[in-house]
Structure 1
Amino acid sequence: MIFFSTLKSEALRLLKNVSVLTVCILGPLAYFLLYPTPYENDVVRSQKIAIIDEDNTELSRSLAFFANSSSEVQVRGYATSLKNAQDLLERGEIFGILYIPKGFERDSFLQSSPTLSFLANSSYFLIYGSIVNGLYQATQELNPQIKIKQQILYGDYALKGSNHALQKDLLTLKSSPLFNSSLGYINYALAAVFVVILHQMLVVGMGIFGASYTYTPTSPALSLLFARMILFACICIPLFAFYFGFGFSYYGIHHHAKISDFWLFSLGFIFSILSFGNFIGTLVSKPYQATVLVLLSSLPLIFLLGFIWPLENIPSPIQTLVQFIPIFHGVNALLRLNEMGADFQSIFHYFKNLLSLGVLYLLLSYLVIILRTWDKKDFLSFCKKFTIQKLQNKQN
């Protein structure tokens, strides 16, 4: 009876709290529409490169021409040496270097295996992928020229197909992107950022809602915690369905997880988020403190989750600390489940950790409420009696 009365009163309080509803409902919807807008094209264009042409032949000049004609690549100029090109790269004036070795044309016409070298800072993965794709298209344009020249050199023997080397492309690129076939931002980071957005918005909303409540010694701690978890679950579950259902399809994000595996994990993740949100809500005393706390931690948190900055480069104490935040396990598991096609067994340790965190933060929330509602006079009286009793026991 107490629980249903608490649930009703908390539901009415939630419906009247415009700030919480705005953060938890309108916030995720606004981020869903606005955040991916700059990356919707998912590609970059006209990236500047320098060419070192030691062959200086008609074929090497044709390669440079085709590269410059590509929408992905813009040839800034020719470098006289590798050191000169590296200086341009380090200053940010170019993003890649194409090295054409001496003998490139001769090797191409004589059926040898010509080698082209490309140097770039691959940490700029969008730029790197764009340039590689542009150079690949340029080499493809050279293949007909090479075949015609070989047919002239080798005559009808080549045309009859007895030499198989003349019947295939001489210049090829072997590339196999495993989990990001578009080599773009959408499939690389947006899937993880969506999870971060949902986590942070819900924690902020629950923090504001919890801090807006005045705790008294008669406050039903457990009823309050479970009532809030049920109410915010009614917001959280539809948002998960919207983001990972319609949202992923709308932006073309890969999702390979089984529906049963996804929802089993997501429900555990949601339980952990709601428990953590309850803890933040009981911990802060003023609504704005929850907003400040979560927003200030958002950007550092993204770099600590392991999908942008390698975990191996993060100090061990910080790695340990970040694992007490549900989003760490949520992001890493959902990326493996959705984008990499992992089975549930391989992410079970993340699921187990989330359930443990959910129970931990639920207990901590209960403890904080008890401490906040414990009358100070009663507490001091208890401490005094406890101390006197200890002294008496020692004397006896």
Structure 2
Amino acid sequence: MATKRSIFEEVDSGGKPAEAPRGGMIDARPRGARRAVRIWLMILFALVVVMIAVGGLTRLTDSGLSITEWAPVTGAIPPMNEAAWQAEFDKYRAIPEYQLQNKGMTLEEFQFIYWWEWGHRQLGRLIGLVWALGFVGFLVTRNIPPGWTGRLIGIGALGGLQGAIGWWMVSSGLTGTALDVASYRLATHLGLAFVILGLIAWWTFSLGRPDAQLMQARRSREAGLMRLGGWLVGLTFLQIILGALVAGIDAGRGYTDWPLMAGGFFPPYPFDIQPVWRNFFENDGLVQFMHRMSGYVLLAFGIFVFLRARRSPFTATRGAFGAMLGMMFVQMLLGIVTVVHAAPWHLAILHQFGAVVLWVLVLRARHQTAYPRAQSVRGATA
């Protein structure tokens, strides 16, 4: 005879309590080691920043052409005896920089600039090693978050491309009558470094929040402010490239008055190099003028975007654009001080580091417009 059931008993439960409902499909997906990958990317970011600083010091000490060959593997070993040092010195004495600028340099003086360039290249190898060990480790342990494998491979590929562009840059100063590397190649090299920094920073911001939260945040995007933020990123990058052109020809040391240039608004003889297009890369007055004007445009646009961002309902977005504008004023002040003091190395490096900070803050503000942080009625962010 069948046992009577209670009308309150769950059907097909066997008399057991019903299981608690499970999370949605987004939460059920494996997330990978988001925190560990983020820390790894932050380490890479710090190494690239150091690489940029060391590269700047290498240029300021005129050390970049001291190693005249590109040997990605064997070049990791420096000269180990007097004969090896002499062989490296003989190679350097065959290039225009020595013959036209450093003739009579001693072996000890050569060793000083050699060690700067060798250290610069070693740091590049270290960055590649840190990337490779981290990527392979996360790949083998299956800890790469879903959808992130291609992005992490891309960072490594860009790092390899950066090494090749570095040699392309150095090779431009080894022949002919050049005393330095070509400024446009230097700008390409530095520009790619900032692209790598920007990608790492953007992905670090994204990995700091769960995927579900990012997907939810996309619904609250402010399309107009996001477009303005994109233009701000582009103008900031342009200013960085123009700064690299200034550094490449030491244009920051030619006109040390401000706000005028040699007593006038426009520098003298801005188009005296033939053909005319070369002036935009090699004329120190015109290149510095472009960098100054671009800086004014960037600051004016930054103020405009900041004022627009003040109308954002999101506290974190308003704060991000406020930090960006504050750093923009600091960077402009650093640029003026650097110019009026004829760009000594410590101010030049500080100005370069300021560009890194500004770049990250601009990208952070843009990221906030793409993925605004939810907040309570009182304004506290989630």
Higher strand share: 1
With normalisation by structure 1, the TM-score equals 0.24
With normalisation by structure 2, the TM-score equals 0.24
